[in-house]
Amino acid sequence: MKIFLTIIYSLGFWLARAEAVVTNNLETPLTERMDTKKAEVTELVSTESAEDASLRKARNTPPVYPTCVHVDSDVAYLGINRDEKADIYSPLHLRAGERLPAILIIHGGGFNDGDKARPREINFATNLVLNGYICMSINYELRKRQGEVTWPQSVYDAKAAVRWLRKNADKLQINPDRIGVIGGSAGGNLAAMLALTQPKDGFDLSEPYGEFSPAVNCAVDFYGAVKLMEYHDMKMFNQTRAEASALYEKASPVNYAHKDAPPILIVHGTADTTVPLAQSQALDEALTKAGAEHKLVVVPDAPHTFNLQPKQRDLRPLVLGFFDRHLKEGLAVVDGGAASHQMVIKVANP
């Protein structure tokens, strides 16, 4: 009997304790409990870098195209059998017979990720179109599966995009003799490859659109990795630097610097922890040694993955001025036409 009473007493004690815990939890305001849970979640995700968080957000956010310019999205510039598409940006009011310079936009993402319609690329395109250009922002083959080799197909795709612009020059109302390129990070590497490689380097395929030239008049490289043997092993090769040093050298724009290269503008931030500033300095050194026209602009405190409007400095006058000098100089002035004036219009920084 004594043992039975002891069991009953213990059971009653633990039931009362459990009731108190539940009651106390229910009496805690819902907002306070939600704030606590939010704090726990915040603590869990706070370990990722700001750049990784930005990429994660971009992947999960559908593109928001601007309404101040015209956008034709998902154009099959590589043919119907390829998943990679392009977005074509043009002014809302393009007069019949008017011809504008064109600029190819190449996204970044380490050759494994990225998209033609990420905020940076939309920022590039909107600013450029509002200042008298027609833009083509492309997707290209990315390494998405283990063991997959996607280089040099990415270079071939970028060159095909330039050819496609020339093939469709009449329809798009562009001047096929005035084509530039801009790219960020991996796109910066490809922009430099477009500017520096020549037919003798073996990247100019006969298809598609082989009857048109892939040459560009000028290029802007935003913080691209350009000397890959001094960068890190790249998944797009499916080989390490130790295993395939010649391949890494072949994919490095610094090795193609030559005196007759088109003008190149290089932009890099001092706070970039993804692609070291030394990469752009290496390209600057190679171009200087070759006697090629170029300029390196270092942005103090700027990190990786900024657009034309980072908080550290408004880069629109620099980049627009560069393209204007090399793509608009010598064009006939048409009263009221997009090529007759250059303006800096404020575009929201995404």
Q: Where do the domains of the chain lie?
A: 2-45, 50-340
Residues 6+ apart with CB under 8 A from 89: 69, 70, 71, 125, 126, 128, 129, 134, 135, 136, 137
With 0-12 / 13-18 / 19 or more C-beta atoms within 10 angstroms meaning exposed / middle / buried, residue 320 is buried
The pLDDT score that the predictor gives to residue 55 is 52
Rg (CA), the chain: 27
Helix (H) or strand (E) holding 53: helix 50-59
The pLDDT score that the predictor gives to residue 329 is 85
Residue 269 tokens read as: 């931030």
The pLDDT score that the predictor gives to residue 103 is 98
| Integer Cα distance of 304 and 161 in angstroms | 26
Residue 164 tokens read as: 């496609």
What is the edge-to-edge ordering of all strands in the sheet holding 70-75?
70-75, 86-90, 134-138, 100-106, 174-184, 218-222, 264-269, 294-299
- Nearest Cα to Cα of residue 72 among 52, 94, 95: 94
The pLDDT score that the predictor gives to residue 331 is 56
Helix (H) or strand (E) holding 162: helix 153-167
Asked whether 347 and 123 are in contact (CB, 8 A), the reply is yes
Asked whether 181 and 104 are in contact (CB, 8 A), the reply is yes
Asked whether 128 and 334 are in contact (CB, 8 A), the reply is no
Arch. (CATH architecture) of 50-340? 3-Layer(aba) Sandwich (3.40)
The pLDDT score that the predictor gives to residue 11 is 47
Q: In the chain, which stretches have pLDDT less than 70?
A: 1-60, 331-350
Asked whether 339 and 132 are in contact (CB, 8 A), the reply is yes
The pLDDT score that the predictor gives to residue 61 is 77
